[in-house]
């Protein structure tokens, strides 16, 4: 057009045939032409089209920036603590002995007090309660025992008003036998005929019809139950009252996606996906081989008797989860609608990584500590458990080990520090998490000892990653005694019979929350709570612990505050076992000028942190660290107290006997200034006095003002079994107490 408007076109052969009608026109004629409505409209249309394309590209760019941001560092669950509420046991509002939704709502202030911002509710759906809610008769309704949908909506609203998140339990593997789908499937009414895993039986030698194969239920006995209506067997990975859904049927997947949509529309903030390893079965339905691994001594009807190559972790599992994840993610638009997706699968860390990498879920629970007991812990045991998870968080996996140092006589010292720093870790893909207890495994305070409560909270709340805390663990709640078989509630245990039920029962870890010292711990006004309250509630409860500054509860709250500091939000971690009892780690800022050194005695005997094994560069050279927090301790010869200064000098040292003021004393010389390794600093007596004067009370006894031949020289901070210390350097230090 520009060409046309500036020239008179004379050569008709040289121009575009489309423009022929305008050839030979003069400029003003052409201008007149341009004003014709057709051309005006065309120009406006073109302008609108260009503007729309530009707007589209611009908004896409903005969305992807926002999305990227919300996908990575800003995801709320990365810095939250997931608090597991087992609704039956949390708070009963109507005096029937079973906890309910109104009870939970009445305790929302408790979460604020704790500093908790994400609550995971185990199932509250309509259920005959054979597996206490994991047997669901209606996925989109609340069981009357817990309340109704309005109560649930109130819970979500109230929680959101307080900035808490509500995470639901999603149970895709099975329904209750009382679900209408099962009823219709038994009658072979379409489209429900193939909603479950139905198989014909096998003719046995005795002429009877037996189950299609040898598959076992996780709760004991055959995984197949005969249905006389259909004259077929149905498969159930758990109780016979929990028939497995058939994920070979695409309609089942669609149904379950709609279940997710129902709860997402009500505003829930995420899901814990239950029993995912059971979702698919091998379609050849072959017998599984027996489990000859290690020392498995299960009897023939116990799940572990077989090696589960056909019923667990089938290849389609990840694809099915990815389908669920896609639905959940479609509800994420802005940071406040980001969802948390957690996977329940008990497997080795290396096998779980696929959930991070391929399912789209946020994390598979790390159950390593849930399966451990006191004999697995101590320094080296904890190191193993932490490292076996952390090494998979890195991509690529890389650890920087510090060479072993000499062990002092009589102690088993091994420094095996690993540094996992920003250069070698891509946490955006795999984010660590730590679980210590849940409704299926005994409470950690029972497995490790109640004196380990605080030290364990120091571990899981201060390591990088998302901790999951089981209700009441913050109070140091322990299991109740196993109730007699006749009073047993857990169907898994009942299924195993009176001889073996004690090995399997999950009742002990599900006892009611201990709120106060009134009857039944303030959990219910009923005289018969569904499970007995732990008799220790009289002393161990929220009310009494609230008033004690050094209670489990208050140490927990202090740690919750501390983990909000930015040094705990970054990705730097350096950790190691220094002795068979002591595990320690450092969290610090990128510059290293502010940080925290956490020393934990997770062993069964008192021990000291041997300075001679302290890795160089782990904490600042030559400066004492401040004791920011210690768990309560009863050292007879001098406790470490908050506010003390502790020397963690990198120690090129020699132990010498010196004569001072007429007495022989053993003495460690510490190289305080940066001299080449191996070269001892020349010290004056004043220097030595200073070195030791900076130490804790116990160590003060070694200071030169208090010479005693029988007292050791300062070897490092001394910790009782179950004692933990948080030391800090840099400023400003947080006011956490």
Nearest-approach distance from CB 284 to ligand GLC, in angstroms: 25
In angstroms, the first-to-last Cα distance of the chain is 77
CB 131 to ligand GLC: min, Å: 5
- What is the distance of C-alpha 580 from the center of its chain? 26
Cβ atoms within 10 A of the Cβ of 664, count? 11
Taking the C-alpha atoms of residue 446 and residue 479, their distance in angstroms, rounded to an integer, is 6
450 carries an active-site annotation:
no
Q: Which of 92, 100, 274, 302 is catalytic?
A: 274
What whole-number distance in Å separates Cα of residue 280 and Cα of residue 282? 7
Which residue number has the CB closest to ligand GLC?
134
19 close to 4: Cβ distance less than 8 angstroms? yes
Q: State yes or no: is 274 an active-site residue.
A: yes
Tell the smallest beta-carbon distance from residue 549 to ligand GLC (Å). 36
Distance of closest approach, residue 128 Cβ to ligand GLC, in angstroms: 13
In the complex, minimum distance from the CB of residue 490 to ligand GLC, in angstroms, rounded to a whole number: 9
Of the pair 169, 545, the CB lying nearest ligand GLC is at 169
Residues 197, 232: Cα–Cα separation, whole Å = 10
Q: Minimum distance between the CB of residue 231 and ligand GLC, rounded to whole angstroms?
A: 27
**3-class state of residue 660 by DSSP:** strand
Count CA atoms within 13 Å of residue 463 on its CB side: 29
391 or 439, CB closer to ligand GLC? 439
**Pair 571, 426: CB distance under 8 Å:** no
Asked whether the beta carbons of 670 and 690 are under 8 A apart, the reply is no
Residues 136/238, Cβ–Cβ less than 8 Å: no
Structure token pair of residue 683: 């010290």
The span from the CA of 146 to the CA of 130, in Å, is: 15
Nearest approach, Cβ of 274 to ligand GLC (angstroms)?
A: 5
Tokens coding 201? 């039986």
DSSP 511: P
DSSP 70: H
Minimum distance from residue 393 beta carbon to ligand GLC (Å)? 24
Beta strands in 344-496 (DSSP E): 363-364, 418-420, 433-435, 466-470
What is the dihedral sign for C-alpha 614, 619, 620, 625?
negative
**Residue numbers at the binding site for ligand GLC (CB under 6 A):** 131, 134, 171, 238, 274-275, 344, 439-440
Sheet containing 724-729: give its strands across.
418-420, 573-577, 582-588, 595-601, 724-729, 625-630, 645-646
Retrieve residue 19's tokens. 């423009």
Residue (170 or 542) nearer to ligand GLC, CB: 170
Whether 378 and 561 have beta carbons less than 8 Å apart is answered as no
Cα–Cα distance for residue pair 305/697, rounded to 1 Å: 56
In angstroms, how far apart are the furthest CA atoms of the chain?
122
Cβ-based nearer residue to ligand GLC, 417 or 471: 471
CB nearer to ligand GLC: give 131 or 323. Answer: 131
User: Which residue number, 168 or 629, has a Cβ lying nearer to ligand GLC?
Assistant: 168
Measure CA 221 to chain center. 32
Specify the 3-state DSSP secondary structure of 505: coil
Tell me whether residue 441 or residue 692 sits nearer to ligand GLC (CB atom): 441
Which residue of the set 255, 281, 344, 454 is catalytic? 344
State the Cα angle at 482 between 519 and 535, rounded to 5°. Answer: 25
CB of 218 to ligand GLC, least distance (A): 7
Q: Give me the sign of the Cα torsion angle 168, 173, 175, 177.
A: negative
**Which of 199/439 has CB closer to ligand GLC?**
439
CB of 365 to ligand GLC, least distance (A): 10
Is residue 620 reached through a cis peptide bond, with omega within 30 degrees of 0 on the bond before it? no
Nearer to ligand GLC, 237 or 264 (CB): 237
> What is the C-alpha to C-alpha distance for residues 264 and 271, in angstroms, rounded to an integer?
10
Task: Please say which residue, 84 or 607, places its beta carbon nearer to ligand GLC.
Answer: 84
For the annotated catalytic residues, the residue numbers are 274, 344
């Amino acid at each position: 057009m520009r060409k046309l408007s500036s020239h008179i076109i004379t050569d008709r052969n040289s121009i575009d045939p489309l423009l022929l009608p305008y050839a030979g026109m003069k400029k003003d004629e052409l201008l007149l032409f341009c004003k014709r409505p057709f051309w005006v409209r065309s120009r406006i249309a073109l302008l609108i089209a260009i503007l729309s394309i530009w707007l589209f590209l611009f908004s896409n760019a903005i969305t992807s920036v926002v999305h990227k941001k919300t996908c990575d560092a800003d995801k709320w669950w990365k810095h939250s603590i997931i608090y597991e509420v087992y609704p039956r046991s949390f708070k009963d509002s109507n005096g029937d002995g079973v906890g309910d939704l109104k009870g939970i709502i009445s305790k929302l202030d408790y979460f604020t007090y704790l500093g908790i911002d994400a609550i995971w509710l185990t199932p509250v759906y309509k259920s005959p309660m054979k597996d206490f809610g994991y047997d669901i008769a209606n996925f989109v309704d609340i069981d009357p025992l817990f309340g109704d949908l309005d109560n649930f909506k109130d819970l979500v609203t109230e929680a959101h008003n307080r900035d808490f998140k509500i995470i639901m339990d999603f149970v895709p593997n099975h329904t209750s036998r009382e679900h209408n789908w099962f009823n219709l499937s038994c009658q072979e009414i379409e489209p429900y005929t193939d909603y479950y895993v139905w198989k014909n039986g096998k003719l046995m030698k005795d002429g009877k019809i037996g189950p299609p194969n040898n598959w076992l239920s996780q709760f004991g006995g055959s995984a197949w139950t005969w249905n006389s209506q259909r004259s077929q067997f149905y498969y159930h990975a758990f109780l016979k009252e929990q028939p497995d859904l058939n994920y070979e049927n695409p309609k089942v997947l669609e149904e379950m996606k709609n279940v997710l949509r129902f709860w997402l529309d009500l505003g829930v903030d995420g899901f814990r996906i239950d029993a995912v390893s059971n979702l698919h079965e091998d379609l050849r339905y072959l017998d599984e081989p027996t489990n000859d691994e290690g020392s498995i001594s299960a009897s023939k009807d116990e799940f572990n008797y077989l090696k589960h190559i056909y019923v667990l972790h089938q290849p389609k599992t990840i694809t099915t989860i990815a389908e669920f994840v896609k639905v959940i993610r479609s509800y994420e638009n802005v940071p406040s609608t980001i969802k948390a997706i957690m996977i329940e699968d008990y497997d080795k860390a290396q096998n779980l990584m696929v959930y991070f990498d391929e399912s789209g879920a946020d994390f598979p629970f790390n159950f390593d500590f849930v399966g451990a007991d006191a004999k697995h812990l101590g320094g080296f045991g904890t190191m193993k458990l932490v490292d076996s998870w952390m090494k998979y968080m890195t991509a690529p996996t890389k650890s920087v080990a510090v060479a072993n140092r000499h062990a002092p006589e009589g102690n088993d010292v091994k420094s095996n520090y690993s540094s996992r720093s920003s250069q070698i870790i891509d946490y955006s893909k795999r984010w660590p998490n730590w679980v210590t207890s849940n409704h299926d495994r005994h409470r950690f305070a029972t497995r490790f000892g109640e004196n380990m409560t605080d030290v364990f909270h120091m571990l899981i709340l201060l390591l990088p990653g998302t901790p999951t805390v089981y209700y009441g663990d913050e109070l140091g709640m322990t299991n109740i005694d196993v109730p007699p078989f006749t009073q047993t509630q857990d169907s898994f245990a009942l299924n195993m019979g009176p001889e073996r039920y004690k090995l399997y029962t999950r009742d002990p870890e599900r006892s009611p929350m201990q709120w106060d010292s009134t009857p039944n711990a303030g959990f219910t006004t009923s005289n018969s709570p569904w499970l007995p309250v732990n008799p220790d509630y009289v002393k161990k409860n929220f009310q009494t612990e609230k008033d004690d500054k050094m209670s489990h509860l208050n140490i927990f709250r202090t740690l919750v505050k501390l983990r909000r500091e930015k040094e705990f939000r970054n990705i730097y971690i350096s950790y190691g076992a220094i002795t068979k009892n002591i595990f320690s780690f450092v969290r610090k800022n990128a510059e290293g000028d502010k940080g925290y050194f956490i020393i934990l005695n997770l062993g069964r005997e008192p021990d000291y942190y041997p300075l001679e094994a302290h890795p160089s560069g782990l904490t600042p050279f030559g400066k004492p660290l401040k004791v920011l927090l210690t768990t309560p301790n009863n050292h007879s010869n001098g406790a470490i107290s908050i506010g003390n200064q502790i020397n963690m000098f990198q120690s090129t040292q020699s132990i010498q006997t010196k004569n001072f003021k007429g007495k022989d004393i053993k003495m460690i010389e510490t190289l305080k200034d940066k001299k080449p390794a191996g070269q001892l600093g020349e010290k004056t007596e004043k220097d030595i006095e200073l070195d030791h004067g900076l130490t804790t009370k116990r160590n003060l006894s070694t200071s030169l003002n208090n010479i005693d031949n029988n007292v050791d020289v300062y070897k490092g901070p001394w910790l009782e079994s179950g004692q933990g210390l948080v030391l800090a350097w840099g400023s400003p230090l947080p006011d956490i107490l």
